[in-house]
Each structure stands twice: as structure tokens, then as C-alpha cells.
């Protein structure tokens, strides 16, 4: 109830921030879908990581990240394997399933985050200092950043990527 | 005064949103600086636009965009040439000067934006429906998106880009 009252006066409320992230995640999912199965795991430009590895970075930030934002504990309960070292699954279908699981985890945990929490300082993943707002922006912006690299990969493969402005 | 009072209760206040944009703009400026003069205007991957043209998109969104956010008029007073059709200047120094001018325009106009304005719907550039918050995110995210493409271009040129997480 407190958040709902506050949100009436807020520049950007918590619901808008959740929507903003999930809109971007829907677009990223469509970029994964646009990939040929093999190229997702193998193709890159300039010696960079293939997109499947960039997607794993997004997932292994988002899952422990949303727990950290919501609870202050920067790990997924009972699943310590979900960390930056986790390698991609073998198939696009499995990667998409992991993506969708992450979408659900974010939606489930988000309502536990308060306006006051957004303003608190915390050490994300035990390593990075900042407010929860700063970490939130970092998670979303890092996804935009690496997804955009996949736009170049897809263009280099002769494949038209999904429209950047379409977040439905 | 009203904004200052409100910001105490807000998930993300207006000052944080300005800082967020300008932090990204500082990083983008460093990516421009990292470019060899000629490659900035000519090099790309996969048939995409060279980075100078992507930077012009950022500038010609940001300048009319901040006027629109602040005043409801989506153009730069007395400077109708600052629109999506504007071509890059001839040199990196001129492009950086245009970038810095844009930084100043954003800083000057930003204080005119209220929390209530962020929640209003408006047709950005006379074309795109959304709240001012949505437009704000679009401007910043579009910059992150196109800057990230320059990261791939730089890597393809054998140049290490500035660290994504460094926004100082």
C-alpha cells in the first residue's frame, strides 16, 4: 500500500521500472529467436563473445540480481550455479527456457522491492558499490548494450534484427 | 521547490535521471574520442551506418528531445536544421563540439521538467506517442544501443573500446 501511495507523486514509479525492464527483455527474446541455431553459439565479430554467451551474462546478472535487489542476498536460493561462470546450454530452446524462467523470477520478486530500497546503497554480487537504482539501471543498460552487439552480428550474417522500438 | 519535496519520496528522482543520461553521454563521448578520425565517418559492419551518423542520430534526438520534454515543443528554437536529416560535420573535433553543446543544452533545459510532466503523454517529434518518461528512456536507450554497435566496430578495427561500466 505504501508504494502505491508514493507512486502517485513519483517521477518514475516501481511498476514503470518493472515494465521498462520486461519490455527490453521481450525484445531481447526476439533477438534470440531471430538467430540461426548454430550461429547463436558460434558467430561473433572482432573476437567478441557469441550472443549465447552474452545472453548468459544477462541471465546470470538478472537472476541473482533481482534476488539482491529484493532481499539483499545476491544469489539464487539453492542454485549457486547461476553465476557469471555458468556456460550456455546446448540448444536455443534451452536458452529460451532459461530466459523465460528468468522473466518469471523477476516478476515474482519485484513486488518485494520498496521505494526506500531503491535508494539504499548495497554491494551488488558482493563486489559493486551503488544504490539499488544504480544497479537496476546497470542490469537493464548492460542488456541493451550486449543485445545491440547481436544486432551487428545479425546484420553481418545478412539477417534483419527485430525493430529496436518494438517492445510488445 | 515542489520537485525537491517530492524527490524525497520518489523511486527515482529527476536529478538521478539527469545524471543517468549524462553519465551515458560521457561514455559515448569517450567512444567518439577512441575513434581514428577517418574510420569515424566511414567504417561499419554489415552495411550499417558509420558511427558518426549514429552520433548525429543521438544529437538530433537529444536536442529537440530535451526541448520537447521541457516545453512541449519538439524543436530547437531558431535551429530547424537540427533534425533527423542533418548530416555529420566534416571532422571529429566538430562532432565533439556539437556533442558538448548538446550536453549543455540538456543541462540548461532539464530543471524545467517537473515530476508531473514526466507522467504526461505527448507526441514526441510530432510522431511518437508515449509519456515523457517513456520518451526519456527511449532517448537514453537508443544512445546505449547505437553506442554498443560502435563497440563492435572498434573491436573489428582492433581498438579496445572504453569500459562500459565507467561513466565518470
Instruction: Identify which has the larger pLDDT, A10 or A62.
Output: A62
Decide: helix, strand or coil at residue B48.
Answer: coil
pLDDT tens, residue by residue, B11-38: 788 999 999 999 999 999 999 999 999 9
User: Looking at residue B155, what is its pLDDT?
Assistant: 97
A49: nearest CA partner in chain B: B152
- The answer as to whether B94 is a domain residue is yes
Task: Name the minimum distance, in Å, from the CA of A144 to any CA of chain B.
Answer: 6
Put simply, whether A16 touches B (Cβ < 8 Å) is yes
- The answer as to whether B4 is a domain residue is no
- The answer as to whether A96 is a domain residue is yes
Put simply, whether B6 touches A (Cβ < 8 Å) is yes
pLDDT tens, residue by residue, A83-138: 999 999 999 999 999 999 999 999 999 999 999 999 999 999 999 999 999 999 99
Given A13, A141, A155, which is nearest B46 (Cβ)?
A155
- The answer as to whether A165 is a domain residue is no
Low-confidence stretches of chain B (pLDDT < 50) are: 1-8
Decide: helix, strand or coil at residue B124.
Answer: strand
Beta carbons within 10 angstroms of residue A18's beta carbon:
16
- The answer as to whether A51 is a domain residue is yes
| DSSP bridge pairs for B5 | none
User: Looking at residue B56, what is its pLDDT?
Assistant: 98
Put simply, whether B24 touches A (Cβ < 8 Å) is yes
Put simply, whether A22 touches B (Cβ < 8 Å) is no
For the stretch B16-20, contacts whose Cβ atoms lie closer than 8 Å and that sit 24 or more positions apart, written own/partner, are B16/A133, B17/A11, B17/A12, B17/B136, B18/B106, B18/B107, B18/B110, B20/A137, B20/B140
Q: Residue B82: which H helix or E strand, with range?
A: none
- The answer as to whether B150 is a domain residue is yes
**Are A11 and B9 an interchain contact pair (Cβ–Cβ within 8 Å)?**
no
Given B11, B118, B156, which is nearest A115 (Cβ)?
B11
- The answer as to whether B137 is a domain residue is yes
Any idea what the CATH number is for the domain that residue A124 is in?
1.20.120.450
Q: What are the chain B neighbours of A164 within 8 Å (beta carbons)?
A: 142, 145
Q: Which of A5, A12, A165 to mutate to test the interface with B (most CBs of B within 10 A)?
A: A12
Range(s) of the domain holding residue B130:
12-156
- The answer as to whether B129 is a domain residue is yes
Q: Which of B12, B27, B43, B142 to mutate to test the interface with A (most CBs of A within 10 A)?
A: B12
Closest C-alpha among B70, B137, B74, B82 to residue B107: B70
User: Looking at residue A6, what is its pLDDT?
Assistant: 43
Q: How many domains does chain A have?
A: 1
Q: What are the chain A neighbours of B6 within 8 Å (beta carbons)?
A: 9-11
**Are B10 and A14 an interchain contact pair (Cβ–Cβ within 8 Å)?**
no
User: Looking at residue B12, what is its pLDDT?
Assistant: 86
Helix, strand, coil shares of chain B as percentages rounded to 5? 60, 5, 30
Distance CA A100, CA A96 (A): 6
pLDDT tens, residue by residue, A29-38: 999 999 999 9
Distance CA B95, CA A133 (A): 32
In the numeric block, the cell 572498434 is attached to B154
User: Looking at residue A5, what is its pLDDT?
Assistant: 42
Burial of B9-38, coded b for 16+ CB within 10 Å and e otherwise, reads bbbbbbebbbebbbbbbebbbbbbebbeee
Question: What pLDDT band is residue A8 in, cutting at 50, 70 and 90?
Answer: very low
Question: What pLDDT band is residue A10 in, cutting at 50, 70 and 90?
Answer: low
Amino acid at each position: 500500500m505504501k508504494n502505491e501511495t508514493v507512486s502517485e507523486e513519483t517521477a518514475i514509479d516501481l511498476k514503470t521500472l518493472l515494465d521498462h525492464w520486461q519490455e527490453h527483455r521481450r525484445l531481447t527474446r526476439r533477438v534470440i529467436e531471430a538467430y540461426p541455431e548454430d550461429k547463436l553459439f558460434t558467430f561473433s565479430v572482432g573476437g567478441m563473445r557469441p550472443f549465447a554467451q552474452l545472453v548468459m551474462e544477462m541471465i546470470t546478472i538478472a537472476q541473482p540480481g533481482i534476488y539482491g535487489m529484493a532481499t539483499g542476498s545476491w544469489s539464487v536460493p539453492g542454485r549457486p550455479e547461476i553465476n557469471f561462470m555458468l556456460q550456455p546450454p546446448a540448444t536455443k530452446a534451452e536458452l529460451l527456457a532459461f530466459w523465460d524462467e528468468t522473466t518469471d523470477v523477476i516478476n515474482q520478486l519485484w513486488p518485494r522491492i520498496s521505494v526506500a530500497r531503491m535508494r539504499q546503497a548495497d554491494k551488488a554480487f558482493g563486489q559493486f558499490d551503488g544504490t539499488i537504482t544504480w544497479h537496476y539501471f546497470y542490469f537493464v543498460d548492460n542488456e541493451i548494450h550486449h543485445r545491440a552487439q547481436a544486432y551487428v552480428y545479425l546484420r553481418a550474417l545478412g539477417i534483419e534484427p527485430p525493430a529496436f522500438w518494438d517492445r510488445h
